[in-house]
């Protein structure tokens, strides 16, 4: 792999030195799969984050904590990741690029990149939190991190934590792309928690490949809350999502086509969850 426009490739002795370099304008590099495709316009220092002890997966407060330089392949091979939320993270990861891409790509680099992602909708649906350092350590919901545009500020992501959903919960992910190795034209991640009367206690419906990092369908989530998980409720939710999604047109698909896909993928995700929880 080679990256253009590097003035110095810095191997920092510790996280503090890495953060200081990034705050001084250096570009953090993890797997380099995105930096390589989008090198800086002018020569810049780069900081190799893979020399820091930021890789690894551990059980954490009933969920899983994943270090930022953990590769997507390492995540895919980990039994704790495979077990979380009925396996939806693993289901999604096998659809991210190719095995070669996943061998290099890291979770921290992916989240810092913050666009065109299969990973982010699933992590948002699971209420993941993110930890980063910009001179001091911070932990925040992933949704808040993107809402506040923090991924565009000088910082180093150090880990992501995925909580285990409640007992009566189901999650699903669907991706629609032209070929198996391509970015999605549209994707969708949903999670439903049921209460002890089998009504929906909490819902997450997230659509990816929109102009935003990923669009949380808040009105659909409010509509679902408190209702039974029936085919009629699912159909209405899917139609609401199609009407509300901030779809865009680009060289891969029109906004109208993406709206149709939204209805189909939301319906399929919610139906899959209903079948699993029946």
Ligand X SMILES: Cc1cc2nc3c(=O)[nH]c(=O)nc-3n(C[C@H](O)[C@H](O)[C@H](O)COP(=O)(O)OP(=O)(O)OC[C@H]3O[C@@H](n4cnc5c(N)ncnc54)[C@H](O)[C@@H]3O)c2cc1C
Contact footprint for ligand X (CB under 6 A): 27-35, 37, 49, 68, 96-97, 101, 104-106, 108-110, 112-113, 117-119, 155-157, 183
**Which residue, 7 or 230, is less far from ligand X as judged by CB?**
7
Q: Which is nearer to ligand X, 124 or 240 (CB)?
A: 124
Smallest distance from ligand X to CB 239, Å: 27
The distance of closest approach from Cβ of residue 180 to ligand X in the complex, given in angstroms and rounded to an integer, is 9
Closest to ligand X by CB, 34 vs 127, is 34
62 Cα distance to chain centroid: 20
64's enclosing H/E stretch is: strand 63-67
Least gap, CB of 215 to ligand X (angstroms): 15
Q: Considering the complex, what minimum distance in angstroms separates the CB of residue 250 from ligand X?
A: 16
Query: To 10 degrees, what angle do helices 255-277 and 231-244 make?
Result: 150
How many Cβ atoms from other residues are within 10 Å of residue 16's Cβ? Answer: 11
CA pair distance 47, 38, nearest whole angstrom: 16
With a CB cutoff of 8 Å and minimum separation 6, the contacts of 197 are none
Least distance to ligand X from the beta carbon of 110, Å?
3
Which residue, 171, 184, 175, is CA-closest to 123? 171
Sign of the CA dihedral running 93, 108, 116, 275: positive
Of 66 and 203, which CB lies nearer to ligand X in the complex structure?
66
From the CB of 277, what's the least distance to ligand X, in Å? Answer: 27
Quote the least distance from Cβ 200 to ligand X, whole Å: 28
* Residue 30, phi then psi, degrees to nearest 5: -110, -95
Nearer to ligand X, 182 or 275 (CB): 182
State which residue, 34 or 164, has the beta carbon closest to ligand X: 34
CA pair distance 232, 44, nearest whole angstrom:
55
Of the pair 192, 269, the CB lying nearest ligand X is at 269
Residue with tokens 């948002």: 124
Of the pair 18, 194, the CB lying nearest ligand X is at 18
Interatomic CA distance for residues 234 and 217, integer angstroms: 14
Alpha helices for the chain (secondary structure H) = 15-23, 33-37, 72-76, 79-83, 88-93, 99-104, 107-113, 119-125, 142-147, 218-224, 231-244, 255-277
Min dist. Cβ of residue 174 to ligand X (A): 13
> Which residue's Cβ has the minimum distance to ligand X?
109
């Amino acid at each position: 792999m080679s990256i253009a426009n590097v003035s110095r490739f810095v191997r920092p002795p510790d996280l503090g030195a890495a953060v200081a370099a990034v705050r001084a304008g250096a570009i953090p590099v993890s797997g380099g799969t995105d930096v390589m495709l989008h090198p800086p316009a002018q020569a810049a220092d780069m900081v190799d984050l893979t020399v820091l002890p930021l890789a690894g997966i551990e059980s954490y407060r009933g969920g899983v904590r994943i270090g930022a330089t953990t590769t997507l392949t390492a995540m895919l091979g980990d039994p704790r990741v495979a077990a979380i939320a009925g396996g939806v993270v693993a289901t999604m990861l096998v659809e991210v690029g190719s095995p070669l891409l996943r061998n290099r790509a890291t979770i921290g680099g992916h989240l810092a990149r913050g666009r065109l992602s299969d990973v982010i909708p699933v992590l948002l649906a699971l209420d993941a939190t993110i930890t980063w350092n910009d001179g001091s350590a911070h932990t925040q919901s992933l949704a808040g991190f993107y809402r506040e545009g923090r991924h565009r500020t000088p910082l180093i992501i150090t880990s992501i934590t995925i909580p285990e959903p409640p007992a009566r919960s189901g999650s699903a992910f669907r991706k629609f792309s032209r070929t198996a190795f391509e970015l999605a034209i549209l994707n969708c991640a949903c999670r439903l928690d049921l209460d002890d009367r089998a009504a929906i206690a909490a819902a997450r419906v997230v659509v990816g490949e929109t102009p935003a990092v990923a669009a949380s369908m808040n009105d659909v989530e409010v509509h679902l809350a408190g209702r039974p998980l029936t085919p009629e409720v699912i159909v209405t939710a899917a139609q609401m999502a199609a009407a509300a999604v901030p779809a865009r047109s680009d060289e891969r698909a029109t906004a109208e086509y993406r709206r149709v896909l939204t209805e189909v993928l939301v319906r399929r995700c919610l139906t899959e969850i209903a079948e699993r929880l029946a």
